[in-house]
Structure 1
Amino acid sequence: MKQRIITAVIAAAIFLPIVIIGGLPLVLFTFLLSAVGLFELLRMRKIKLLSFPGLLSLLVIWLFILPNDYQTFFTFIHLTKMEIGLFAALLYLTYMVASKNQFSIDDAAFSILAVIYMGVGFHFFIEVGDTKLWLLFYSLFIIWATDSGAYFIGRAFGRRKLWPEISPNKTVEGAIGGIVCAVIVSVLFSAFGYIEWYIIAVITIILSAFGQIGDLVESALKRHYEVKDSGKLLPGHGGILDRFDSLLFVWPLLYFIFDAFSLI
């Protein structure tokens, strides 16, 4: 526990100032996070980052991450992100043939999904922060509250397993407790006049539930590939994916909800 707290404090001291500054420093920092996360993800599949499919995945992820303010770049190269993604898929398949199936169709599919998963998730990390900084802090706090609430309430009152085939330690009581804790934290944001408490409470229930799904998705990946943690970069916490798995699900959904209802 002591190691987890020390790591969290150091990480917050680095992470939060960059988020507040925003702009190019945030974009470059997100590039770094995504590169480490991709390395962790590809390593599960035994695909090297310093390989053709690994470097292609990294390049496409970085292009996907670029915020909307950089749209002139895509105008300059006369390509959209969708077209870049489709061209990358053709390159994966071409490499599959060139490698004589050492890089298989399963590897290609995994790489494409990794690009979408991380590229879209981290893109909306920047977009949410650039749109309204309080929304980014809101997302961080409700996921931290969800994780902490699920852990402590699950340990104290957990009886029924949530999804034992994927994550044996998670319980239904813990999942509900995590949502309740997230709602309590979210209502505090309404005190600053950002949004009505009942609206943010409903949104938080949805986001907290999807955040837990994101956590289960990474648990499913780790169980399938028989790894305990995605990495060891953050002592006591695991890797980048272990810390951002929930948020990669939450940030796109958060942006869509607030944009759809003209809340941003």
Structure 2
Amino acid sequence: MLVRIITGIVGIGLAAFVIQAGGTLFAVCGLVLALGAWFEYCNAFDKKGYRPALVIGGLFVSAMCYAAYGGLDTGLLTMLSLGAVLVMFLLTVLLHGSFSVPSAAVSAAGVLYLGMSFAHLIGLRVMEHGMAPVETQLGVLEPGCALIWTALIGTWASDTFAYFAGSFLGRHKLCPSISPGKTVEGFVGGLIGTTASVAGLGVLFGFDVQMMAVLGLCICIIATLGDLVESVMKRYTGIKDSGHIIPGHGGIWDRFDSVIYTVPFVYYFVQFVALR
């Protein structure tokens, strides 16, 4: 637990620096995380007997992240998504006998699952969407910076409040066949804590507090589902952790399984709901 806490504190400090810096540094860090998660994904399914296209898939993941640098290029992302699917299945012909249809399907799904999500992480940081700079008591933030903090703090709050509520009050299992450690009480604690945390960010950023509370509620639900999705895949592939690169926290995929779902949701939420 001590290692987990220390690593978490260091990680938050590094994340704060990168988020505030934005620009190329944030994009490069997003790309590194995406490729790390892709490697762990491929390694997990390799243990199950599949042979994901590690290098070609990594190139598509990189290209998707590049398409978000400076602003999410949806046209280019669509082209890359289609290209990834077509190329993966074309490999079953070009590499017939060594690259199977299931491996192509796993590869294509992984590229879309991780590449598109991390592209939205990068795209959210540079998003403006007609919003003015956000003035706070801590200084002036770019709109994308405030939105990234909203997505990440909301996701971290969901995990933290659910963990402590489940530890002290947990009695009823939420999804015992998928994640035995999750409880209904923990989930409810996560809902309350995340809703309050994101609403509090609304006060800090000068956003509509009611809409931020709704966003917080949604983030908790989606974060929980994202975590369960990875749990299903880990159970299917027979691994406990996706990696060991983060002491006390497992791998990059383990740490960002919920973010993979919450960031795209926040990105499109602010497209349709006015926060100011």
Q: TM-score, normalised by structure 2?
A: 0.86
> What's the CA shift for 1:89?
2.3
Deviation per CA, 1:82-128: give whole Å up to 9, x if none.
22332332322222233334321111111111111111111111122
Question: Secondary structure at 1:223's aligned position in 2?
Answer: helix
Q: CA deviation at 1:15?
A: 2.3
Whole-Å separation in 2 of the counterparts to 1:224 and 1:80: 33
Q: Distance in 1 between matches of 2:164 and 2:17?
A: 29
Alignment of 1:18 with 2:18, yes or no, is yes
1:3-32 per-residue CA deviation (whole Å, 9 max, x = no partner) reads 001111222232221111111111111111
Residues in 2 aligned to 1:118 and 1:235: alpha-carbon distance in whole angstroms:
22
Query: Shift in Å at residue 248 of structure 1?
Result: 0.8
The Cα of 1:68 is off from its aligned counterpart by: 5.8
- In structure 2, the partner of 1:111 is 107
Match of 1:228, SS state, is coil
One-letter amino acid matched to 2:229: V
Q: 1:85 to 1:154 in 2, by over 3 A?
A: same
Which of the residues 79, 96, 101 maps onto 1:100? 96
Cα displacement (A) at 1:71? 7.5
Moved more, 196-205 or 218-227: 196-205
User: Paired residue for 2:148?
Assistant: 136
Counterpart amino acid of residue 15 in structure 1: A
Gaps of 5+ in 2: 128-142
The 1:256/1:70 distance shift into structure 2, 3 A limit, reads: closer
Q: Could you tell me whether the CA contact under 8 Å between 2:72 and 2:120 is conserved in 1?
A: no
Q: CA separation of 1:159/1:188 partners in 2, compared to 1, >3 Å: closer, same or farther? A: same
Gaps of 5+ in 1: none
Q: 1:160 to 1:52 in 2, by over 3 A?
A: closer
Amino acid at match of 1:10: V
- For the Cα contact (< 8 Å) 2:227–2:257, is it kept in 1? yes
Superposition misfits of 4+ residues, deviation over 4 angstroms: none
Q: Secondary structure at the match of 2:15?
A: helix
Three-state SS of the structure 2 residue aligned to 1:211 is: helix
Please list, as runs of the form range in 1=range in 2, the aligned pairs for 1:1-264 lying within 5 A after superposition: 1-46=1-46, 53-66=53-66, 67=68, 69=70, 80-131=76-127, 132=143, 133-263=145-275
CA deviation map 1:53-78 (0-9, x unaligned): 21111111111122163679x9xxxx
How many angstroms apart in 1 are the aligned matches of 2:215 and 2:52?
41
The 3-state SS of whatever aligns with 2:204 is coil
CA-CA distance at 1:261 after TM superposition = 2.0
State the identity %. Answer: 30
1:222-264 CA-to-partner distances (Å, cap 9, x unmatched) read: 1111110110000100000111110110011101111112438
CA distance in 2, matches of 1:162, 1:26: 35
Q: Which residue of 1 aligns with 2:139?
A: none
Aligned to 2:78, the other structure's residue is in SS state helix
Distance 1:165 1:210 in 2: 19
Letter in 2 for 1:222: K
Deviates more, 1:254-263 or 1:221-230: 254-263
Change (3 A) 1:28 1:106: same
How many corresponding residue pairs? 256
For the aligned residue pairs, the C-alpha RMSD in angstroms reads 2.1
Q: 1:142 to 1:237 in 2, by over 3 A?
A: same
Q: Structure 2: which amino acid aligns with 1:240?
A: I
Secondary structure at the counterpart of residue 126 of structure 2: helix
Question: How far apart in 1 are the matches of 2:184 and 2:121?
Answer: 29
Pick closer, same or farther for the CA change 1:70–1:162 going to 2, 3 Å.
Answer: closer
